[in-house]
Amino acid sequence: IRIPLNELRFIEVLARGHDMRLIKRSDGQVHSSYLFQNGNADCFVGALLHVHVVRRTRENRNCFEILDSDEEKLQKTFAELQIEEIKNSGHWLTNMMRKNIDFLAKVPEYVLHPPLSMETSPMSPIRNDEYEVLNGEKTENDTEKHDNNEEKAEIDEGPSRILPERKIIQRGSSLTEKQWREFHSEDGRVSDPQKIKEIIFRGGIEPQLRSEVWKYLLNYDIWEESSVERQERRRKKTSEYYQMKAQWLSMSTVQERNFSGYRDRKCQIEKDVKRTDRTQEFFAGEDNPNLGVLQDILMTYVMYNFDLGYVQGMSDLLAPILAIMQNEADSFWSFVGFMDLVYTNFDIDQAGMKRQLGELNRLLEFSNPKLFNYLKEHGSENMYFCFRWLLVWFKREFSADDICELWECLWTGLPCPNYHLFMCLAILDEQVKIFIERNYEFNEILKHVNELSMKIDLKQTLQVAEAIYEQIKASDCLNDEIRVIIGEEPLNQSIDTPETEFDDNFDEDIVTEPTREELELRQKKLDIACEQSMYFSFL
């Protein structure tokens, strides 16, 4: 039995792995059902998960969504992407699974409700062009493609667009202790935060100041608050943090067993924490207590934002903050501020990542048509090789010290909210010659980009990124799409602009701020519950 996956929307596993149903994409009805006598339907679906053909839905852990080809590629995140394996395999397994599932070859089971079309229609033969050659031999089409590539001695740079000359940018000095104190009033308020951000953007922050200044950049501390107000706010936030931490710490085994969403997140956090920044002194060694704090903060964030919960990569974003703050509650709220900036990176449908990759594509087409057209001719214009950079904000590309300087620069929001895209442009700008001279295809580009890790000069990259930004901004031929991406007002006010914030008015209608009376009643119930819990614990 062969079923094209593009006809299916979901796969459901029922009856503890004994029954599997295929749901049609067209009308949501059951396509067919299959009985697994040994109850191993989950093993079959597990194989599909492994090659990124399906993904588990958040609403129902026994339901799996069929991915299209683009989503399939995006599922290979920075931690899962095995470059050599992909390169050597030529994607044959993924392509094969995407085209058809040959159930009889893998699963000797029984069809319960075969559709009429499957009974009456003869099986279509597999066309040679549906699959790549598994033994590595070139087909006639491959040879023609290779010959055509050789004929293209020069890359078409597309329609002529004269950009202003690129400026030479110089980095400034770091924000010093003396400068920082000069911005403080007698009561502890911080004046002229815009000027402070400009200094940080130009040169970063002296290391000993980071723990204090980062709290402002990540909206944990408020620039306008006095020292007294700031301390009171931190006290309340610390209390709130430990209340949320107590929620998951007090969860019983039965609760956890019946709460699959929580259990899955907890399992993923435990796996990721063990391999996060273990080469850094702060997290190195066996039984390092800092790993426990890292795990506790991530678990508490699950309780703080259960809709998002935990997604692979978030531990990478928290680790440098904890290493700098070295305070659990302060690290948590600073991490919350960071996640407010990048939460769309972890959308379950990866819409946020796709949007950023699309914007990067537009910027590259505008600023570097030579590279853009080369990538387009080699099937790489989707920019998926930049996925890891954007997902965790270049965490895997720079040293611990460099990533602190880069992040604090990006946290200023200067010169535009999408400045991290210009970091991508700057890195790629240095690789144009290599890509073209070596005639790299997508796999080679992806491999080369990943091998740049820890080899990129941060200072030079920041200078080039700002130079490219200034060059684009000064252009006389900016269209509204580019203007919006770089943070400028569109000339045509009717243009559709991407939403910068998630509109959750619907949620606000459901969850409203409790009244004073409701808060008092809730606290009374909590006090009674705590007293009863302690009383029966000591009986």
Cβ atoms of residues 268 and 56 within 8 Å: no
Rounded CA separation 488/356 (Å): 17
Q: Is 166 exposed, middle or buried (0-12, 13-18, 19+ CB in 10 A)?
A: middle
| Beta strand spans in 140-215 (E) | none
For the chain, domains (ranges, CATH) are 5-68 (no CATH), 205-345 (1.10.8.270), 351-486 (1.10.472.80)
Which contiguous run of DSSP H or E holds residue 298? helix 289-304
Which contiguous run of DSSP H or E holds residue 369? helix 369-377
Rounded CA separation 11/58 (Å): 14
State the amino acid at position 1 in one-letter form.
I
What HEC string does 484-504 produce?
HHCCCCCCCCCCCCCCCCCCC
Nearest to 205 by CA among 407, 465, 469: 407
Structure tokens belonging to residue 365:
């087409």
pLDDT tens across the length of the chain (539 residues): 677 877 888 898 887 777 888 988 888 888 888 887 666 787 888 888 777 778 888 777 788 888 875 555 555 444 444 433 433 444 433 443 444 444 333 433 333 443 333 333 333 333 333 323 233 333 444 444 444 444 444 445 444 568 999 999 999 999 999 999 999 999 999 999 999 999 999 999 999 999 999 999 999 999 999 999 999 999 999 999 999 999 999 888 899 999 999 999 999 999 999 999 999 999 999 899 999 999 999 999 999 999 999 999 999 999 999 999 999 999 999 999 999 999 999 988 888 999 999 999 999 999 999 999 999 999 899 999 999 999 999 999 999 999 999 999 999 999 999 999 999 999 999 999 999 999 999 999 999 999 999 999 999 999 999 999 999 999 999 999 999 999 999 988 665 554 444 444 444 445 567 788 877 887 787 777 677 666 666 65
| CA of residue 367 relative to chain centroid, distance | 25
Structure tokens belonging to residue 247:
């929620």
Residue 132 CB coordination number (10 Å) = 14
This prediction's pTM: 0.70
Rounded CA separation 369/119 (Å): 52
Rounded CA separation 532/460 (Å): 62
Residue 400 CB coordination number (10 Å) = 16
Which contiguous run of DSSP H or E holds residue 321? helix 314-325
Whole-number CA gyration radius for the chain:
27
DSSP state of 443: H
DSSP state of 175: B
